[in-house]
Amino acid sequence: MESTNPEQNKEIVLKAFDTLFNKRDYEAARQFWSDNFIQHSAYVEPGRSGLFDAVRASPSTIRYENSLAFAKKDAFVMLHGRFSGYHQPAAWIAANIMRMENGRIAEHWDVLQAEATKAESKSGLPMFGDSFPTKP
């Protein structure tokens, strides 16, 4: 049983997201997700294979950019980031929550929202980073 601390867990999850979503290195990504991975996303089929198949089926232009990473004790990591390149009118801003087990991502939940432009933002502040996106 591998023991990890919060900082290690953040590093593992950030590397996992870069490996899968940005590099699309499925073989390397296998090391980051548990064989018994539990997926709670409404957009992805169950298990690690469901996640990998969803990425395989998506455009090669998808990218994940991270803004914030939080870790709680030795079990949970939360990322705030942006998924872009889906050929949709807006990128998705995501809160991804992972439960870690033995140094691997064992379970995942997400909250996704289309990124607002300046005209759409009632707060007048961007949802990600320091500037608003431009619509294609």
Q: Which tens digits make up the pLDDT trace of 65-92? A: 999 999 998 799 999 999 999 888 899 9
CA torsion angle 64 68 72 77 (round to 10): 0
Using CA atoms, how far apart are residues 92 and 36, in angstroms rounded to an integer? 27
More confident residue, 2 or 72: 72
pLDDT band at 40 (very low <50, low <70, confident <90, very high): very high
CATH classification of the domain holding 35 = 3.10.450.50
Decide if 130 is inside a domain: no
Using CA atoms, how far apart are residues 93 and 129, in angstroms rounded to an integer? 11
Using CA atoms, how far apart are residues 54 and 82, in angstroms rounded to an integer? 17
Q: Is the pLDDT of residue 123 over 80?
A: yes
Mean pLDDT along residues 37-53 = 96
Looking at residue 124, its pLDDT comes to: 95
Decide if 80 is inside a domain: yes
Mean pLDDT along residues 11-36 = 98
Using CA atoms, how far apart are residues 102 and 9, in angstroms rounded to an integer? 10
pLDDT band at 136 (very low <50, low <70, confident <90, very high): low
Decide if 93 is inside a domain: yes
With contact defined as beta carbons under 8 Å apart, do 97 and 76 qualify?
Answer: yes
Decide if 11 is inside a domain: yes
Decide if 27 is inside a domain: yes
Domain around 72: 6-114
pLDDT band at 3 (very low <50, low <70, confident <90, very high): confident
Tally of domains in the chain: 1
**For the whole model, what pTM was predicted?**
0.93
Decide if 21 is inside a domain: yes
Q: Is the pLDDT of residue 126 over 60?
A: yes
